[in-house]
């Protein structure tokens, strides 16, 4: 399946809707036809039901062919393990945000979050960075690029060139909750 969109457009923008208008219908039909004669495997990155585009096919295939979804390990799980630091402790609330959200929404959620994950970063990094700064969280923010993949990179977000962030990149702020006191 060759996707017509690979950048991080807001899901409700006209460009996104136009580009994907027929794509999922077309591929749901093609997969349903194929599945009549053979088993079909759709490989997904991370977990198919976690902000995954497979969900658009899954809903279109309901009642047409049986679909079994195998749970996957989310990209964010790989990313926080790449930082070698727990993401949540004790009663931390983990907030997962999409970098496509408007800046005001990002600031509001970031300010209230204990632990924080921001996905769909890519070209949205400058806005995400501004929002973290306004919420007072930039100093604690990490960027993980290509988590668990070849070329994985972990860096403090404040040190990263915002013009050079790939599609597979997640921003993390670790929670502190009831973290045990560690010796200095
Ligand atoms: C459409 S979402 C799909 C999420 C996927 N279903 C999952 O379970 O992680 C794509 C976004 O997930 C994030 N992402 C997924 N895997 C990643 C990885 N291995 N490293 C860094 N970011 C990743 C990126 O922010 C990317 O823009």
Please report whether residue 153 resides in a domain.
yes
Please report whether residue 180 resides in a domain.
no
Residues 23 and 84 occupy one common structural domain: no
147: CATH: 3.30.950.10
Give me the pLDDT at residue 50, please: 97
Q: Lowest mean pLDDT: which of 10-24, 97-111, 165-179?
A: 10-24
Mean pLDDT of 2-6: 72
Closest ligand 1 atom, CA of 167?
Answer: 27
Residues 54 and 66 occupy one common structural domain: yes
Mean pLDDT of 163-182: 86
Q: Does ligand 1 have an atom closer than 6 angstroms to the CB of 124?
A: no
Are the C-beta atoms of 160 and 125 separated by less than 8 Å?
A: yes
Give me the pLDDT at residue 47, please: 97
Residues 51 and 31 occupy one common structural domain: yes
Residues 82 and 164 occupy one common structural domain: yes
Residues 85 and 131 occupy one common structural domain: yes
State how far the Cα of 130 lies from the Cα of 77, in Å rounded to an integer. 25
Per-residue pLDDT tens digits for 80-118: 999 999 999 999 999 999 999 999 999 999 999 999 999
Number of domains in the chain: 2
Please report whether residue 178 resides in a domain.
no
Q: Whose CA is nearest to atom 3 of ligand 1?
A: 52
Please report whether residue 35 resides in a domain.
yes
Please report whether residue 8 resides in a domain.
yes
Residues 104 and 56 occupy one common structural domain: no
Residue 73 — very low, low, confident or very high, per pLDDT cuts 50/70/90?
very high
On the question of pLDDT at 7 being above 80, the answer is no
Residues 59 and 87 occupy one common structural domain: no
Are the C-beta atoms of 48 and 58 separated by less than 8 Å?
A: yes
Domain termination site, one of 72, 92, 113: 72
Q: Mapped to the 3 state alphabet, what secondary structure does the chain carry?
A: CCCCCCCCCCCCCHHHHHHHCCHHHHHHHHHHHHHCCCCCCCCCCCCCCCCCCHHHHHHHHCCCCCCCCCCCCCHHHHHHHHCCCCCCCCCCCEEEEECCCCHHHHHHHHHHCCEEEEECCHHHHHHHHHHHHHCCCHHHEEEEECCCCCCCEEEEHHHCCCCCCCCCEEEEECCCCCCCCCCC
Residues 40 and 92 occupy one common structural domain: no
Tell me, in angstroms, the distance from the centre of ligand 1 to residue 36's CA.
31
Q: Does ligand 1 have an atom closer than 6 angstroms to the CB of 45?
A: yes
Domain termination site, one of 20, 38, 72: 72
State the residue range of the domain holding 12. Answer: 1-72
On the question of pLDDT at 19 being above 80, the answer is no
Please report whether residue 110 resides in a domain.
yes
Residues 83 and 135 occupy one common structural domain: yes
Q: Does ligand 1 have an atom closer than 6 angstroms to the CB of 11?
A: no
Environment class of 177 (CB within 10 Å of its CB; exposed 0-12, middle 13-18, buried 19+): middle
């Amino acid at each position: 399946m060759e996707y017509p969109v690979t950048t991080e457009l807001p899901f409700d923008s006209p460009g996104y809707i136009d580009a994907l208008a027929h794509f999922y219908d077309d591929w749901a039909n093609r997969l349903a036809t194929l599945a009549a004669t053979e088993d079909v495997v759709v490989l997904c990155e991370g977990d198919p039901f976690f902000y995954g585009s497979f969900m658009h096919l899954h809903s279109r295939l309901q009642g047409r062919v049986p679909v079994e979804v195998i749970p996957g390990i989310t990209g964010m799980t790989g990313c926080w393990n790449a930082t070698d630091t727990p993401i949540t402790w004790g009663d931390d609330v983990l907030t997962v945000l999409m970098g496509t959200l408007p800046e005001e929404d990002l600031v509001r959620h970031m300010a209230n979050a204990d632990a924080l994950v921001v996905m769909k970063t890519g070209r949205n990094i400058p806005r995400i960075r501004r929002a973290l700064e306004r919420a007072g969280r930039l100093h604690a923010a990490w960027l993980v690029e290509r988590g668990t993949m070849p070329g994985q990179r972990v860096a403090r977000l404040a040190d990263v060139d915002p013009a050079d962030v790939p599609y597979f990149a997640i921003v993390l702020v670790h929670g502190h909750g009831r973290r045990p006191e560690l010796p200095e």
